[in-house]
Structure formats: C-alpha cells, structure tokens
C-alpha cells in the first residue's frame, strides 16, 4: 500500500508543479487525492475525495458554461450544451487527468490498486473534479479558472475541434507555425463507379500523410486527422 507522499516530500512538490498551483491548505490536496477505498482501509484517514468531487463537478459546469458562452457568441443553447457535455464527459476528464499524470498520485486501497484503479476512467474523472474543487476552496475563483483553462478546457477543446474539423485545425496549425498551407492530392482511386475509394495525401512542411475514404472530401479529412495526430 502506498504511503501518503505529501507534506515536505518530493511527490507533493512535483504534483503542485505539474498543476501550476501550490496549496496553502495541504489537507485539501490530501483529501482530493484520497480514494474512498484508501480511507476504508486506513482508520486514521478522516475523509476522501467524494465531497470535493461533488463541489468540483459544479465548479466545472460553471467555468465551462462561462468560457463557452464567451468563446462561441453566436452559438445557440443546443450547440453550447453539446460542447459542454463533451468537455465534462468522463472520458474527456480522464484524458485530461492522464495528461497531468494524476493517477500515480492517487491513494488507493490494496484491492483497488491491484485492479488497475490508478488508470480507471471513473477514478480519474473524480480525482480531477476533486482537485478542481480543492483549488476552488484554497485559492478561489481566479485559481480555479486558471487551472480549468490550462489543464481542462484548452487541451480538450483543441481535441474536440480537431475531431470535428481536422482540415481547418491543420491549416490553423500550419499558419501558427509559419508552414505553407497544407496541400492535398489524390494519389489513388479504386473500385466501381458507385463505390469509389479515394486515397489522398496531404503535405505539411515537407511531411506527407495519407487518408482513405469513400469520397475525396472524406479522404482529405482522414488525411488531415492523421497529420494532426502525428504533429500534435
């Protein structure tokens, strides 16, 4: 079983550096990183991250709604709701938590740890929301918004936009990095007229990536998506 790695330890300092926030009240960080299974096995532990997760879930909803309405001024309620749901989904939050390496700091009971609890989507989702709630309590709205923007909104929004519009995202990436505009070329066509199969190659800064599809546009989109996965 892991012993708690905080209060003047390298583990705590490393984590605070990773998230870009130093806690004034270390007990809040301790609680955010304590899974219920660990508390059940350690009578000395007075709490776990469930209350903070409850708070963090609401904070996340508030910050996401505020950020999305500001960024997408012309979007209707349906589109905003869809974007908010995408950012706040369990899979998206788990992805953000993995990007920060939070799982390695999560305190788990023996059974939960043995069954891969450190990388379980639900545990990582709860952990990230608990951490956001802890930051809200420790540093207020400004600190919580900065953490949300840097470690949740920007990475997840970039991923969502890339999946919805890979060609546009790839062109924006090229322009920001001073590369020529990506060029698309059909390199192969096959199949009967009613079921043509296209292979398209996109060139970005002298690197080429190929995508396939039942239409030229689909093949271009798939090629752009492949380029983004490599470049980003």
User: 86-144, pLDDT tens digit by residue?
Assistant: 888 888 899 889 888 899 899 999 999 999 999 999 999 999 999 999 999 999 999 99
Tokens of 18: 């990773």
**pLDDT score at 163:** 56
Residue 111: helix, strand or coil by DSSP? helix
Instruction: Assess whether 97 and 77 both reside in one domain.
Output: yes
For 176, residues 6+ apart whose C-beta sits below 8 A from its C-beta are: none
Banded model confidence at residue 67, pLDDT cuts 50, 70, 90? very high
Known active-site residue 129: yes
**pLDDT score at 10:** 66
Domain housing 179: 166-231
Domain count, the chain: 2
Between these two residues, 75 and 195, which has the higher pLDDT value? 75
The distance from CA 181 to its chain's CA centroid, rounded to whole angstroms, is: 28
| pTM for the predicted model, two decimal places | 0.67
Does 197 reside within a domain? yes
Helices (H), the chain: 10-19, 26-32, 36-41, 50-71, 77-87, 90-100, 110-114, 121-148, 154-164, 166-176, 216-231
Name the catalytic one among 30, 48, 53, 129.
Answer: 129
Instruction: Assess whether 43 and 118 both reside in one domain.
Output: yes
Instruction: Assess whether 81 and 141 both reside in one domain.
Output: yes
- Of 57-61, 153-157, 180-184, 188-192, the poorest mean pLDDT is in 153-157
Instruction: Assess whether 66 and 106 both reside in one domain.
Output: yes
Instruction: Assess whether 160 and 107 both reside in one domain.
Output: yes
Known active-site residue 76: no
Name the catalytic one among 30, 53, 57, 126.
Answer: 57
Taking the C-alpha atoms of residue 228 and residue 232, their distance in angstroms, rounded to an integer, is 6
The distance from CA 165 to its chain's CA centroid, rounded to whole angstroms, is: 18
- Residues of the chain with pLDDT > 70, as a percent, come to 92
């Amino acid at each position: 079983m892991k012993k708690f790695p905080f209060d003047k330890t390298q583990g705590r300092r490393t984590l605070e550096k990773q998230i870009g926030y130093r806690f004034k009240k270390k007990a809040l960080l301790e609680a955010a990183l304590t899974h219920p299974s660990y508390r059940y096995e350690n009578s000395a532990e007075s709490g776990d991250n469930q209350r903070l997760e409850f708070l963090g879930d609401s904070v996340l909803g508030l910050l996401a709604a505020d950020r999305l309405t500001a960024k997408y001024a012309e979007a209707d309620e349906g589109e905003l709701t869809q974007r908010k749901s995408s950012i706040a989904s369990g899979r998206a939050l788990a992805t953000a938590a993995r990007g920060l390496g939070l799982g390695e700091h999560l305190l788990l009971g023996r059974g939960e740890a043995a069954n891969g609890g450190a990388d379980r989507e639900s545990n990582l989702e709860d952990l990230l929301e608990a951490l956001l709630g802890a930051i809200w309590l420790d540093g207020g709205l400004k600190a919580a918004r900065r953490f949300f923007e840097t470690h949740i909104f920007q990475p997840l929004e970039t991923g969502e936009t890339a999946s919805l519009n890979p060609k546009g995202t790839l062109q924006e990436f090229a322009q920001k990095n001073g590369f020529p505009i990506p060029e698309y070329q059909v390199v192969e066509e096959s199949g009967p007229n009613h079921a043509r199969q296209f292979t398209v190659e996109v060139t970005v800064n002298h690197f080429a990536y190929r995508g396939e599809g039942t239409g030229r546009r689909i093949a271009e989109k798939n090629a752009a998506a492949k380029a983004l996965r490599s470049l980003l």
